Amino acid sequence: MKIGIPKEIKNNENRVGMTPAGVLELTKRGHEVYVQSTAGEGSGFDDEDYYVAGAKILPTIDRVYDQAQMIVKVKEPIQQEYELIKEDQVVFTFFHFASDKRLTEAMMKTKSVCIAYETVEDKDGTLPLLTPMSEVAGRMAIQQGAKYLEKPVKGKGLLLGGVPGVRPGKVLVIGAGTVGIQAAKMAAGLGAQVTILDVNMNKLRYVNDVMPSHVVTEFSNEYNIRKHIKTSDLIIGGVLITGAKAPKLITRDMLKEMQPGAVIVDVAVDQGGCFETTRPTTHEDPAYIIDDVVHYCVANMPGAVPHTSTVALTNVTLPYVLKLADEGWEKACRDDDSLMKGVNIVKGRVVCEPILEAFGWKEAMA
């Protein structure tokens, strides 16, 4: 199969859909890979790396779309790319169709086959192509939180790990899912005192089994949250209720009970945030202060570490890319239930229920 890797053109997106390691796996199997010149630059891979792995380097995005039977990328296509997508071309990327009617209609018009990373789903309900981004964000939350505790950025002036003779910071992690566990692990590694809350006892049992003894688990309820925010230096929001907006677990009035200069990092900002005072920020201007509490609420945290994020993402997308290339999309999806869940639009027809529901098209078809 001919596979195209275009350069991402969405603002501030430095990830790329495939690493040279992926190109090598594909070319070894006899596939042809067309990489747009400088596509990997933002992630630390140059054209030479791709060329050595067996790719053909093309100078323009148009040539990549023109050559390829399958496009592998990271972000949803933006308007300039709509025209480039051809009938029957497979496009494997993040789409998030349910929140973008214009994109959905544009992709229907192309008559391409759109397979979305975010809806590829394992039997146990986990989303294997989203997990690595939560892992990155969870670990980064502590790195950023520790930085914003510093005085020059209006934090309380506390070193998260402490030093001999001085107490370390207290970290409260709300949600013991992928984000929460990675955050707790990083905080514990720095020597902080960590409390992690969840409503799912199995998650708490797991954390209790695998974490060191300075990571304490407690059930998530208003009483425990109110108790802990009074003494926490850093609070991480990592809550998710699938398909719903995040619950507001720390309200505006509760901020007054927190210590001046304490920091909250709301990783769940992309689902509306789990703090009432959360509003999405960007890497250009990541933090703001309300009632003396520093808020860090970047909606695309992995974007700041494109090398790590690209490798983490492509580690999990590559097995699916190989299947799609080896077997063609129809057989690959028929044989793999997880991948089948990723199929969103086929040649002009939306085949993914939540998208139909989001736009009220299900009723229209009934």
- Min separation Cβ 124 and ligand NAD, Å: 12
Residue 178 touches ligand NAD, criterion: CB under 6 A: yes
Query: Are residues 27 and 54 in contact, defined by beta-carbon separation less than 8 angstroms?
Result: yes
**Is 361 strand, coil or helix?**
helix
What's the min distance (Å) between Cβ of 265 and ligand NAD?
9
**Complete DSSP assignment for 284-340:** SS-EEEETTEEEE-BTTGGGG-HHHHHHHHHHHHHHHHHHHHHH-HHHHHHH-HHHH
- Residues with Cβ within 8 Å of 174's Cβ and at least 6 positions away in sequence, in order, are 180, 196, 197, 198, 220, 225, 235, 236, 237, 238, 239, 249, 274
- Residue closer to ligand NAD, measured from CB, 135 or 233: 135
Residue 264 phi/psi, 5° resolution? Answer: -120, 135
Q: Which 181-210 residues touch ligand NAD, going by CB under 6 A?
A: 197-200, 203
Among 55, 269, 304, 352, binds ligand NAD (CB under 6 A): 269
Distance from the Cα of residue 235 to its chain's centroid = 20
335 is catalytic: no
Please tell me the distance from the alpha carbon of residue 232 to that of residue 239, in angstroms, as a whole number.
Answer: 18
Q: Does 268 bind ligand NAD (CB under 6 A)?
A: yes
d(CA 123, CA 296): 34
Could you say whether residue 8 binds ligand NAD (CB under 6 A)? no
Q: Which of 96, 228, 291, 307 is catalytic?
A: 96
What amino acid occupies position 41? E
Which has the closest alpha carbon to 264: 154, 182, 189? 154
Strands 170-174 and 349-350: unpaired
Which listed residue (4, 40, 42, 177) binds ligand NAD by CB under 6 A?
Answer: 177
**Please, what is the minimum distance in Å from the beta carbon of residue 103 to ligand NAD?**
19
- Determine whether 291 is an active site residue: no
Strands 287-290 and 293-296: antiparallel
Q: In the bound complex, what is the minimum distance in angstroms from residue 44's beta carbon to ligand NAD?
A: 20
Candidates 18-26, 235-243, 315-323, 329-337; binding stretch for ligand NAD (CB under 6 A): 235-243
Residue 5 binds ligand NAD, judged by CB under 6 A: no
CB of 291 to ligand NAD, least distance (A): 22
106 lies in the binding site for ligand NAD (CB under 6 A): no
Q: Does 217 bind ligand NAD (CB under 6 A)?
A: no
Judging by DSSP bridges, how do beta strands 170-174 and 90-93 pair with one another?
A: unpaired
CA neighbor of 63 nearest in space, from 107, 16, 5, 20: 5
Tell me, by CB under 6 A, how many residues bind ligand NAD: 32
Per CB under 6 A, does 215 bind ligand NAD?
A: no
Q: State how far the Cα of 1 lies from the Cα of 330, in Å rounded to an integer.
A: 14
- 232 touches ligand NAD by CB under 6 A: no
Nearer to ligand NAD, 112 or 309 (CB): 309
Which of 271, 277, 278, 308 lies at the binding interface for ligand NAD (CB under 6 A)? 271
Q: Determine the interface stretch with ligand NAD among 72-80, 133-141, 151-159, 350-358 (rule: CB under 6 A).
A: 133-141
Could you list the active site residues? 96, 270
Kindly list the residues in this chain that would bind ligand NAD in the complex (CB under 6 A): 133-134, 137, 174-180, 197-200, 203, 220, 238-241, 247, 249, 267-271, 298-302
